[in-house]
Amino acid sequence: MVRAAVLSGVFLAIYASWQLTRWGGAAHKTLIGDLFFMPINVAAVVAALLAARRCRAEPRARRSWQLLALALAFYLLGDVVQTYYEVVARAKPYPSLGDVGYLAFYPVALAALLRLPVTRRSPRERVTLGLDCALVALSGAVPIWYVSLGPTLAAGGQGEVAMTVSLAYPLGDMVLLVGVAALLFRGAPAGMRGALALVGVGLVGFVVTDVVYGWVTLHGTYAGGDLVDAGWMFALAFFMLAATAQPVAEAPRAPRPIAVSRRRVSWLPYIGLAANVALIVQAQRNIGATMLVVYVAVVVLVALVSVRQLVVQSELLVAQRALREAQADRALLLDRTISRGEEERVRIATELHDGPVQRLAALGYLLERSARLTRRGDGGGLMLVDEALGELGGEIEGLRRLMADLRPPVLDESGLENALRDHLATVFRQTDVKVELVGRLGAERLPPDTETVLYRVAQEALLNAAQHASAGKVCVQLERTGSSVVLSIEDDGIGFTHEQARARLRDGHFGVVGMRERIELGGGSWHLDSTPGRGTRITAMLPELSAAPESLEPCSDLIELGVSA
């Protein structure tokens, strides 16, 4: 690749020196100018064939390079024939066999581009891709029409065949633009990107040169070796470089499942639009002031709509990123919720194993012993019964604690506010943290689900405040606004940044996301304000979840039956 680049650089430099100084004399201009094309064109064909060989493992890429080689070979044929006419026969038949070669280049090159391997796409992506391609191709086609196709058609004065061939060139350019657009938007497999970028540059150069050539022939005369040739020379050099840049292709991997891919904002459609608008202004510069204002207004409108579109698109991208983050959080949380449920079961099972079951088994052995002693008339048996009773009391107490731990009875018995007051006191019992509960509910009861959700959120928030905030004061507020209940937990601790919160989440701390999730699942809203050094405030607003369905009228028959049975 590097050697090819150096060689073609040297070759182009020699060609440039010829274009500038015309060494070899003006008499041989066409001969020298035409002959310059042969080596670079042959090199491009050979390089493309070699690239095809390197792509044996990837049939689509191989076919694509073979087609490009064929297109370049057609172009070479055109050149050879053209040179023969210009230099040897000294005649300029138009159209000639040379045009057949040149014209065959366009469809074959397009076929080469369309054969390129692509990544799989969802139907929706294909629609967007089609729109983007159409936009770019059309915005490229309009200048072609304006500069060469339209004027050629308008000029007339040629025979039918000659006219058809004259129109075929700009049409071929339009076709190539479709290929370039497809190349730009379809994306390429990782290994081919460099090569395809060079092909793209070559194609654009080719089309631009064609357009300039069309303009030149309409407004003057062209002869082989003119400066315009430099454009095609440049394009051929890039085709050759592209082919040498093709690495040995790997076998195509199994198609990836279709996923929503990240879309970049593409500027190309807007640039195309701008170019066409510029064309209109350029074409209409001589009209009267009245229409000019209209045109300028239309141009400004188009520009504004485009800008607006871009802004919306970038907003969408931001929203897309936020959505992806939220989805990832949710997936992590779901995972965590499941494993947490399991962990909780393990904890309870372990507590039951190590606690009540052992104690009761030991108690059983004690009572058995007491029975044995009593049967033998040993008074010690009765003492053992007393011991057993003491142990039984302790065991019941232990079970009660486990039960309360699973579900605080105060929440069911005397409501959220009292439960929160108890909990607040428990969490900060042996600390210097000042705690305050501002409750406006009193003993008022909320639907059980509402109470549970808010209690768990407060539990989590207070745990965070106690463990991480280094707070001096914690304030919990609970009040009702309309049909919602608002709970806020505020501390004057060290606070944290969004990044810190996300880092903690990645480390497996789900407290914050868990709170938000609980509230949002309950149809409420959740806000977290935290500034490093200025504490944290968590506000949860929950609409009163619907209470248990109204109990049905008791069916007296059934009750009577129950009683009588």
Partner 1 sequence: MNQQVEDEEASSAKPGVRVLVVDDDQQVASRLRELLTDFNHTVVGLASNSIQALVLIKTLRPEVVLTDLRMPGMGGLQLAAEVMRVADPPALIVVSAYDDPSLREAARRAGAYAYVVKGTPGVQIHDAVVAAAAAQSAR
Q: What is the DSSP string of 13-29?
A: HHHHHHHHH-TT-GGGH
| DSSP state, residue 493 | S
Q: Which two tokens stand for residue 152?
A: 């050629």
The CA-based dihedral angle spanning residues 194, 200, 202, 203, taken in that order and rounded to the nearest 10 degrees: 160
Identify which of residues 343 and 354 has a Cβ nearer to partner 1 in the complex. Answer: 354
Which residues does residue 439 pair with via DSSP β-bridges, in sequence order? 478
Identify which of residues 92 and 372 has a Cβ nearer to partner 1 in the complex. Answer: 372
Of the residues 366, 385, 528, 541, which one makes contact with partner 1 according to CB under 8 A: 366
Identify which of residues 284 and 350 has a Cβ nearer to partner 1 in the complex. Answer: 350
Identify which of residues 125 and 395 has a Cβ nearer to partner 1 in the complex. Answer: 395
Tell me how far apart the alpha carbons of residues 17 and 35 are, in angstroms, rounded to a whole number: 15
CB of 338 to partner 1, least distance (A): 24
Of the residues 375, 429, 498, 506, which one makes contact with partner 1 according to CB under 8 A: 375
Cα–chain center distance at 27: 60
CB of 407 to partner 1, least distance (A): 24
Tell me how far apart the alpha carbons of residues 477 and 539 are, in angstroms, rounded to a whole number: 9
Tell me how far apart the alpha carbons of residues 114 and 182 are, in angstroms, rounded to a whole number: 8
CA nearest neighbour of 468 among 539, 540, 535: 535
CB of 472 to partner 1, least distance (A): 40
CB of 369 to partner 1, least distance (A): 6
Q: Which long-range contacts (CB under 8 A, 24 or more apart) does 251-258 make?
A: 251/57, 251/58, 252/57, 252/58, 252/60, 252/117, 252/189, 255/120, 256/119, 256/120, 258/120, 258/121, 258/122
Tell me how far apart the alpha carbons of residues 318 and 310 are, in angstroms, rounded to a whole number: 12
Total site size for partner 1, rule CB under 8 A = 15
Identify which of residues 361 and 383 has a Cβ nearer to partner 1 in the complex. Answer: 361
Taking residues 415 to 444 in sequence order and writing x for each that binds partner 1 by CB under 8 A, - otherwise, the string is ------------------------------
Binding region for partner 1 (CB under 8 A) out of 22-30, 77-85, 368-376, 442-450: 368-376
Identify which of residues 308 and 353 has a Cβ nearer to partner 1 in the complex. Answer: 353
Tell me if 5 contacts partner 1 by CB under 8 A.
no
217-256 residues near partner 1, rule: CB under 8 A: none
Taking residues 326 to 365 in sequence order and writing x for each that binds partner 1 by CB under 8 A, - otherwise, the string is ---------------------------xx--xxxxxx-xx
Scanning the structure block, which residue is given the tokens 């579900």?
Answer: 407
| DSSP state, residue 190 | G
Identify which of residues 347 and 353 has a Cβ nearer to partner 1 in the complex. Answer: 353
Q: Which two tokens stand for residue 336?
A: 């965590």
CB of 121 to partner 1, least distance (A): 51
Residues near partner 1 (CB under 8 A) are 353-354, 357-362, 364-366, 368-369, 372, 375
